[in-house]
Amino acid sequence: MYKEIINTSHKLSTKKYNKDMGNPKAFLTIPRQEAGYRPIHDRISDYSEVEQTLNSRDRKLQASRCMDCGVPFCHWACPLGNKQPEFQDALYKGKWEEAYKILNETNDFPEFTGRICPALCEKSCVLKLSMDSPVTTRENEAAIAETAFREGYIKPRNIERNGRKVAIIGAGPAGLAAAAAAYDAGLRDILILERSGELGGILNQCIHAGFGLHTFHQELTGPEYAQRYIDAVHERGIPAWTDCMVLDVSPERVLTVTGRDTGLQQVRAGAVVLAMGCRERSRGALNIPGFRPAGIYSAGTAQRLVNIEGFLPGRRVVILGSGDIGLIMARRMTLEGAKVLVVAELMPYSGGLKRNIVQCLNDFGIPLKLSHTVVDIQGRERVTGVTIAEVGPDRKPIPGTEIHYDCDTLLLSCGLLPENELSRGMGVTISPVTNGPVVDESLQTNIPGVFAAGNVLHVHDLVDFVSEEAAAAGRAAVRYLANGPQDRGREIPITFEGGPRYTVPASIDPKRVEGDLVIRFRVGGVMKNRRVRLYLDDEAVVSRKRPVMAPGEMEELKLTQAALAAHPDLKQIHIAVEEA
């Protein structure tokens, strides 16, 4: 079900239970009590509930049995990532509405799962493992849902069917997730525009595993991950124009579109989601001296040649840049029989994930030379050799450190650039750091009704987070159509010190925040033994210890709605990276 796709908040809870658990020792004195079934002679004569229910007092007592576990295995075992200790604690304290809100963060249909779920949470409960008497989590969940319906905590969310389109530019992981999320938020008039001939974007050529661990709790290949979203879009009947190029978008959200099947036409949209992704830096952007022989490819082009077209670009390979695609292609070329001689990186640290360095380089004995760059390319018709040299702190080559490699291929993995020509053309403010749009808490740009998500906004390290971010943008676009343009209100810029280069979002209007807000950023260099703190005015509301932080890996902080509500006169939002 698509619920698995939209619910991307399956992260381990960080709540300090020892401070908040109402009765952490109740399990010692209160036995497990199940509601049981109605007598057979009663239930065979009607269509009412088969299972009985406990009264509120007994239900709270059962919730109090949830103890102060160091590691809540119930949370780990639940496919939805439900926060069992937190909603049980709220239930025990009689805070039924709060319990429902916690449950609804990860579970769209607790009224169903509270009845028919096999309750893996109970099978993994510490009380089950130690006393064979787990907490009645499933029954508690059903009781919370029924109380929420009875007390009116659950309200219908009807979106006005006004016929205005949400136009989504791009059908990669961001565009597909935004479309499906907008549909599930109530909108039906959605159009996806994709310049390629198929949906799925770059994932179609990423045949290696490593996708979907956060979203689906499974390790998938790129095509498998993309197909789940493609299926979700098809199941909802969302139209997608492929082989279709968006030539221009006006500030009034009028898109000029041309395509093989559509011809030249204009599409007037009520809201636009920018999901164009990013592209690789080419050799022309790197200023490498030498001729222009054959055998020089971007890592992404080589990946497509090998994985989609079935061609091997070369036999002896040098790779410049240690971005994730370059690292993955070092392994891929090796597995296809090529000899990867070296991976040279200009910076003193790798631009890729640590796991890719281990799995793609170390496991295959491929050397990584940090603080090195290509200074010369030999060959006229075809690459015959490459010379690299060490660079100093100023990133200029150091004479006398040159190393020559005889090779026939040079792959470039020197960073990604968000595709924002359309954004600039319509007047979107672009960040000089990310080269992506500057957005607020709703992922809305400075142009009302225009939203951005995924790699067009800032380059991500994991596609799961692209989907999560894009789904939020899709829902925000639906809210915009339902409520119309709103005054910017009191936008509070997020300031930072000690390491971050930027934040997404760049500013927050506390009154327009829907649910908990994820703030993402990257640091400018390798940092060890740090503590990241998020301050609302002078109070640190989030504090995380980070043994290692690197530019190649995205950092994130979660700002809860409760923390914002506790600061009604908020004036400053600040992120500080400090010595631990």
| pLDDT tens by residue, 144-157 | 999 999 999 988 75
Report d(CA 357, CA 352) in Å as an integer.
7
Q: Is 209 exposed, middle or buried (0-12, 13-18, 19+ CB in 10 A)?
A: middle
- pLDDT of residue 429 exceeding 90, the answer is yes
- pLDDT of residue 420 exceeding 60, the answer is yes
Q: Which residues contact 362 (CB under 8 A, 6 or more apart)?
A: none
CB contact at 8 A, 133 and 127: yes
Q: Which helix (H) or strand (E) holds 478?
A: helix 463-483
CA distances 440 to 183, 493, 504, 510, 518, Å, are 22, 9, 8, 11, 12
Q: Which among 129, 164, 180 is positioned nearest to 8, based on CA atoms?
A: 180
Return the number of other C-beta atoms located less than 10 Å from residue 2's C-beta: 18
- 14 vs 169: which has the higher pLDDT: 169
pLDDT at 47: 87
The pLDDT tens digits of the residues spanning 101-159 come to 999 888 888 999 988 899 999 999 999 888 899 999 999 999 999 999 999 998 875 53
What's the rounded mean pLDDT across residues 81-88?
A: 90
What's the rounded mean pLDDT across residues 65-93?
A: 88
- pLDDT of residue 15 exceeding 50, the answer is no
Report d(CA 263, CA 251) in Å as an integer.
22
Q: Copy the structure tokens of residue 387.
A: 């010379």
- 128 vs 451: which has the higher pLDDT: 451
The pLDDT tens digits of the residues spanning 206-259 come to 999 989 999 999 999 999 999 999 999 999 999 999 999 999 999 999 999 988
pLDDT at 1: 27
Report d(CA 52, CA 58) in Å as an integer.
13
Report d(CA 520, CA 515) in Å as an integer.
16
pLDDT at 5: 27
What's the rounded mean pLDDT across residues 353-378?
A: 94
Q: Confidence band (pLDDT; 50, 70, 90) for 433? A: very high
Q: Is 151 helix (H, G, I), strand (E, B) or coil?
A: helix
CB contact at 8 A, 549 and 527: yes
- pLDDT of residue 388 exceeding 50, the answer is yes
What's the rounded mean pLDDT across residues 313-333?
A: 95
- pLDDT of residue 534 exceeding 70, the answer is yes
Q: What are phi and psi of 249, to 5 degrees?
A: -130, 125
pLDDT at 17: 36
Q: Which residues contact 226 (CB under 8 A, 6 or more apart)?
A: 172, 173, 176, 199, 200, 201, 203, 204
Q: Are strands 527-536 and 492-497 parallel, antiparallel or unpaired?
A: unpaired
CB contact at 8 A, 416 and 455: yes
Report d(CA 92, CA 62) in Å as an integer.
8
pLDDT at 286: 64
Report field, pTM of the whole predicted structure over 0.85: no
CB contact at 8 A, 390 and 414: no
Average pLDDT value for the chain: 89
Q: Confidence band (pLDDT; 50, 70, 90) for 163? A: very low
Residue 44 DSSP one-character state: T
Report d(CA 66, CA 90) in Å as an integer.
11
pLDDT at 161: 36
Q: Copy the structure tokens of residue 56.
A: 């509120």
